Amino acid sequence: MGNKQQTPRALLELTEDALNTMDQHFNQVCVPAFMDDKNAALAMFFEEPSDGTSKESKGGGSSGSSGGSGSSGGERPAHLEGRHMLTTTLQSIVAALTGKPMSQASNKDRRATDQEKEDIAILLTEGTKSGDALKKSSSKDKSIESGLIERLIKDLVLFEVEAKKALVTIVQMLVRESKPFLAHITSSSSNDPQGLSPIVNFLVEGFQSKKTAMHTGPMLISIVRNDERTAESVFYNHINQFLDEFVQTESWAEKTIAFDMLRDLLFTVDENEKTFLRKYAADYINDQWQPSLAILKLPENKGKAGTNPFFTKLNNLIKSRDYTNVAATVKLLQSILFCPSRATFETMLAYVNNRRNLTVAMNLIRDTAEPLQFEGFHLFKVFVVNPNRPDSVTTMLLRNRGELFFFNYYFASYHKNI
C-alpha cells in the first residue's frame, strides 16, 4: 500500500489497474489456449509459479525480466501480482466503508468521511467523468473509466476468495447507503417495466455456476431487499427457474442461498418487523388457479378442487425427501397460505380443498424428522377445520382416522404449544 495513506480515489485507481492486468492475461493468454474450455482457462490463470520462482521473487534480487505477464527471470507473473493487489485494495475499500482505518501504513490513521464513501459509489459507477471533486487534482491522478462496478462483478471468477468477499460487502453496503449507486445497479435500458438491468441479470445467472453463486447470491438479495421494482422483475422473469433449478442444486450452501433469495422475492418485512407476502407475489399466486378463484367461489362449485402450478412445484420439492428442500419449502408454504395480510386467504381455502395437498401434509406427519412432523401437523389442521371441505378430503380423513388419532395424541402430549 506504500508509505502514505490511500484515498478512495487512489484505491480505486489501483483496483482498475489490477483488474486491467488480470483481464488482459486471461483474455489474451488463457482463453486462446483453451478456446472451448473456460474451466481449463481459469485453471491456467490461477496457476502459481514454481516454489523456486516464488522464493526468488520474494528475495527481491535483481533479475533479467522480460516484462509482460511471464515469470521469466524469477519475477512473479504480473496477473498474479494484480490479483493480490486487487484483494488488498478491495479490502481497504471495505475498511473505509465500515469506518475502520483506511491505511495501516501510518501512525496517523483516519477514518473515511461520508463524502469519501459517496465518492467511492460515484467512482465505481460513473468514474472520474462525474463531479468536479472527482476530476484530476494533479498530473499524477489517473482517469477511472465508468462502469468499474460492472467489470468487477463480471470478473468475479478471476478473484481470490477474500477479494470476492470484499466485493460482496462493498456492494451490500453501497446498495443500502447510496441511492445513486442503487439506481445505477438497477437501471435498465429496456422499456419493458419487467426488464432487468445488465448487472442484476448477471447476478441471477450467477446462481447457475458453483464458482459464483455463493457471492452473486448475497449481492442480489441486498438489491432485491432495497428495490421493489427489481424484486418484481426478478420474480416474474425467474421464479420458475428458482423453483425448478436453483433450489435443487446438490450443494447445501448454494441451495440455502437460493432459498433465501426465493424468500426475499416472495416476502417483505414492514417497519414492525412483521413478514408479509409482497403484493405482486400474492397476485401472481392467486392468478395461477385453474379454474380461477372467481369460478371456484361460485355456489355450484363449492368444495370443488382446483389446481395451481405454483403449489404443484412446492409440493414436488416437499416430496423430494431432501431435508433442506423439504424444511425450507414447508416454511414458505405456510407463510404464503397464512399471510397476516390475508392476501392469499381465498388461495388457502382453495388449497385445502384438494386431497393431493392433504396427502402432502399427511406424509410430512409420517416423516421420521420430528421438526417436519411438527410443521406438517400445523398444515394438516387446516384441512380438518375446513367447514367446506369436499367429500374427497373427508373420505381421506376418515380412511386414516386411526393413524391421525395417534398423531393427534402424540402432538398433544409432546408439543403442548400446539
What digits encode the pLDDT tens for the residues 366-385?
Answer: 888 988 988 888 898 899 88
- Dihedral angle sign, alpha carbons of residues 192, 198, 203, 205: positive
pLDDT band, residue 403 (cuts 50/70/90): low
Residues 6+ apart with CB under 8 A from 388: 302, 303, 349, 353
Cβ-contact 185, 166 below 8 angstroms: no
**Which of 261, 241, 264, 243 minimizes the C-alpha distance to 253?**
261
Q: What pLDDT does residue 192 have?
A: 60
Write out pLDDT tens, residues 47-61.
Answer: 877 654 443 334 343
- Tell me the pTM: 0.84
182 and 196 in a common domain: no
233-260 burial: b if 16+ Cβ within 10 Å, else e: bbbbbbbebbbeebbebeeeebbbbbbb
353-374 burial: b if 16+ Cβ within 10 Å, else e: bbbebbebbbbbbebeeeebbb
177 and 28 in a common domain: yes
Tell which wins on pLDDT, 417 or 7.
Answer: 7
pLDDT above 70 covers what percent of the chain? 81
209 and 178 in a common domain: no
How does DSSP classify residue 342?
-
401 and 303 in a common domain: yes
> Residue 364 corresponds to which cell in the numbers above?
410430512
In a domain, 388, yes or no: yes
How large is the average pLDDT for residues 140-162? 90
- Measured between alpha carbons, how far is 72 from 277 in angstroms, rounded to an integer? 60
371 and 346 in a common domain: yes
- Measured between alpha carbons, how far is 68 from 60 in angstroms, rounded to an integer? 18
User: Of 144-158, 275-289, 362-376, which gets the smallest average pLDDT?
Assistant: 362-376
In which element (H, E) is residue 267 found?
Answer: strand 267-269
- Dihedral angle sign, alpha carbons of residues 158, 159, 165, 166: negative
Residues 6+ apart with CB under 8 A from 233: 188, 193, 194, 195, 196, 200
Q: For residue 227, how many other CB atoms are within 10 A of its CB?
A: 19
pLDDT band, residue 303 (cuts 50/70/90): confident
175 and 38 in a common domain: yes
Domain count along the chain: 3
How large is the average pLDDT for residues 80-108? 78
Tell which wins on pLDDT, 167 or 274.
Answer: 167
pLDDT band, residue 62 (cuts 50/70/90): very low
Tell me if residue 80 falls in helix, strand or coil.
Answer: helix
Tell which wins on pLDDT, 370 or 343.
Answer: 343
Q: Please determine, for residue 6, whether its predicted confidence score (pLDDT) is greater than 90.
A: no
298 and 226 in a common domain: no
In a domain, 274, yes or no: no
381 and 241 in a common domain: no
Give the 3-state secondary structure percentages of the chain, helix then strand then coil, rounded to 5: 65, 0, 30
> Residue 168 corresponds to which cell in the numbers above?
460482496
In a domain, 164, yes or no: yes
Q: What pLDDT does residue 188 have?
A: 72
How large is the average pLDDT for residues 154-183? 94
2-7 contact pairs (CB < 8 A, 24+) = 2/105, 3/105, 3/106, 4/103, 4/105, 4/106, 5/102, 5/103, 5/105, 5/106, 5/108, 5/109, 5/110, 6/92, 6/102, 6/103, 7/102, 7/116
Write out pLDDT tens, residues 223-281.
Answer: 999 999 999 999 999 999 999 999 999 899 999 999 999 999 999 988 888 899 999 99
- Measured between alpha carbons, how far is 349 from 345 in angstroms, rounded to an integer? 6
In which element (H, E) is residue 51 found?
Answer: helix 51-59
In a domain, 176, yes or no: yes
pLDDT band, residue 220 (cuts 50/70/90): very high
pLDDT band, residue 189 (cuts 50/70/90): low
316 and 220 in a common domain: no
In a domain, 351, yes or no: yes
pLDDT band, residue 101 (cuts 50/70/90): low
Residue 379 domain boundaries:
293-418
Q: What pLDDT does residue 2 have?
A: 39
Cα 297–chain centre separation: 38
Quote the mean pLDDT of the chain: 84
417 and 298 in a common domain: yes
In a domain, 135, yes or no: no
Amino acid at 407: F
323 and 313 in a common domain: yes
Q: What pLDDT does residue 4 have?
A: 42
- Measured between alpha carbons, how far is 293 from 295 in angstroms, rounded to an integer? 5
Q: What pLDDT does residue 335 have?
A: 94
**Which of 145, 21, 135 minimizes the C-alpha distance to 76?**
21
Tell which wins on pLDDT, 73 or 294.
Answer: 294
In which element (H, E) is residue 276 found?
Answer: strand 275-277
How large is the average pLDDT for residues 166-194? 86
pLDDT band, residue 67 (cuts 50/70/90): very low
